[in-house]
Amino acid sequence: MKIAVVILNWNGKTLLEQFLPSVVAYSEEATIYVADNASTDDSVAFVKANYPAIKIIQNTVNGGYAKGYNEALQHVEEAVYCLLNSDIEVTPNWLSPILDTFKNESETAIIQPKILDYKNKSKFEYAGAAGGFIDKYGYPYCRGRIFDTIEVDTNQYPNDTIFWASGACFFIRKSTFKALNGFDETFFAHMEEIDLCWRAFNNNYITKYIGDSTVYHVGGATLNASSPKKTYLNFRNSLFTLTKNAKGNIFFLIFTRLLLDGLAAIKFLIEIKPKHILAILKAHGSFYSHLGELLKARKNSTQKAGYFTKKSIVWSYYISKKQKSNQL
């Protein structure tokens, strides 16, 4: 089974200098690509000069994660894609458990490895940890990470079916990616992988966590958690994802989420973060402007029951003080 490791790059020469060596050293089974999102630095020249075996795909514009990968993967022929962030260090034999799973489990379409923190390698990393789930109101969380509480990895989370896989290190069969028409480019970045996994779930594909494979992620190298733009994208894209994919009374669900977003804005007010309050308002404005398109996408797709954790993760975390996944 042929696999392609595809690293999306935008002005990331420093990250490529730091993290490409481990990818090259430990990815003998793979063809490695760097998909460049119209960088203005000399990162492409760096790759060509130092890693001539790596294939370069040059996108014409910076379309973010979603459009960037959609365009780049049109030029990739391998049967399995690994979409790998440029700020990830991989480990020896990281690909073998993934390929074995794809070979032995024909029904498995998407896989995520164990994602640990590059800066503190005993802990899970925020963006993915041991695999993602979603609560009854559409809030995503991970085994090993709920909101800002991140657990130490003690191998407490076994290989298992999950709801969504992190875009930081995202394995998917080429056939599945094409059948689902890739990422939704209106997302630009953040939560597009959850939207894709939700569409996969609604179409009876299986997503798995394989903790026998480990990678270390810096996180926030492109857009850190303190950025209002990240707040905007996360709040907006969460509403996009719910509207398109959730089964049931979508208007009640969205109304509830809008109220909860209001509580989040109050939290930002208490923390004196006016730019983040504005980001939530802008996210809601963008959601309303796209509502017609989202409802059309919903009408033209399938929604399936059983997608969520029945408890509210907000209630469990803030009220019941259950801040570890195995306490839920």
The reported pLDDT for the residue numbered 223 is: 62
pLDDT in tens, 12-63: 999 999 999 999 999 999 999 999 999 999 999 999 999 999 999 999 999 9
> With a cut of 70, which residues of the chain have pLDDT below it?
221-225
pLDDT in tens, 159-184: 999 999 999 999 999 999 999 999 99
Q: Which residues have CB under 8 Å from 20's CB, separation 6+?
A: 7, 47, 50, 51, 54
The reported pLDDT for the residue numbered 133 is: 96
Strand ranges for 10-153 from DSSP E: 30-37, 55-59, 80-84, 88-90, 108-117, 120-124, 132-134, 140-142, 145-146, 149-150
Tell me the whole-structure pTM to 2 decimals.
Answer: 0.95
* CA 44 and chain centroid, separation: 24
The reported pLDDT for the residue numbered 224 is: 67
The reported pLDDT for the residue numbered 222 is: 61
Distance CA 16, CA 326 (A): 36
Tokens 């000399």 appear where? Answer: 42
The reported pLDDT for the residue numbered 221 is: 59
* Total count of residues recorded for the chain: 328
